[in-house]
Amino acid sequence: MDDRVPTGIPGLDEILSGGLPRGRTILLCGTCGTGKTTLAIQFLHNGATRYNEPGVLITLEQNAQEIRDDMLNLGVDLKKLEDQGKLTIIDTSLSKMGLTDYLNQTQTHETGSFTLKPGEFNIENLLAVIIDTAKKTGAKRIVIDSLPALDYLLKDKDDIRRTLITINYQLKNQKLTTLIITEGQDDESLSKHGVEEYITDGVISLKVNEALDTRTLKIRKMRVTKHTLKPTTFELTPTGVIIKTGKGN
């Protein structure tokens, strides 16, 4: 169905009525080690390799090369997709550079290039880069990893609501299907600031139960989608996330 974006992740599309709603912004939340980044990159990889939908990964925290190395261990060759023009990684991580260097950075890919102009960082500049890259590459899928990193870039740390509304509006206006990764303070909270889940169109929550050695996924919210509110067990396997629906998985 054209109004759905299949994730290609075993079991997930089954509980999402065929996939994520197209052109919507979805919050992917969970504490450390729940598999958020792995699931999100599977969404991009499957889009590029199975559904002819190029993607853009914006990494705000982790070094892009580390992500390439980590995913290669799962058999996912991101560099190959970049070389084919099916994936663009926009590395804005602050782990390897100071803010001044970041603002004046010119980053070039085999599949294109972009420049972050010198001056004060703001979310509008970042969104302009994302949208321009998506237009040049024909990208349909976006992943932003992860939202809490913006705390270091915004002057007003209470301005997350305005920032998220801006992200949501701009990317939806371009008909881009976006996964925004965030972290909860604990297993009971969905997000760091407590407002993200109200602004986005959907919320997928991942949890780890260490006592039972299990991980669970719950669709807390998904507009224009019929779904269960019950948690579903999933596994982080050597090839990525597999959802255990109990129907052949």
Rg (CA), the chain: 17
Cβ-based neighbours of 84, under 8 Å, separated by 6 or more: 48, 111
- Across 98-228, where does the E strand assignment appear? 106-109, 112-115, 141-145, 177-182, 202-209, 214-222
The pLDDT assigned to 211 comes to 76
Q: Which positions ≥6 away from 108 have C-beta within 8 Å?
A: none
Other Cβ atoms less than 10 A from the Cβ of 126: the count is 22
Count CA atoms closer than 13 A to 126's CA, side-chain side.
24
Number of H helices and E strands in the chain, helices first, is 8, 13
What pTM was computed for the model? Answer: 0.88
Residues 218 and 34 sit within 8 Å (Cβ to Cβ): no
Predicted local confidence at residue 62, as pLDDT: 84
Please report the pLDDT score of residue 105 as a whole number: 47
How much is the pLDDT for 233?
95
Give residue 162's pLDDT: 86
Residues 71 and 37: beta-carbon distance below 8 Å? no
Domain assignments of the chain as residue spans, ordered by start: 4-243
Handedness of CA 119, 62, 58, 170 (dihedral sign): negative
C-alpha dihedral over 141, 146, 147, 149, to 10 degrees? Answer: -140
Query: Which amino acid, one-letter code, is at 52?
Result: N
| CATH T-level topology, domain 4-243 | Rossmann fold (3.40.50)
How confident is the model at residue 248, as a pLDDT? 47
pLDDT in tens, 105-115: 444 444 443 43
**pLDDT for position 190:** 63
* Distance of alpha carbon 180 from alpha carbon 238, whole angstroms: 24
Residue 121: its pLDDT value, please? 52
| Residues lower than pLDDT 50 in the chain | 95-120, 248-249
> Residue 195's pLDDT is what?
79
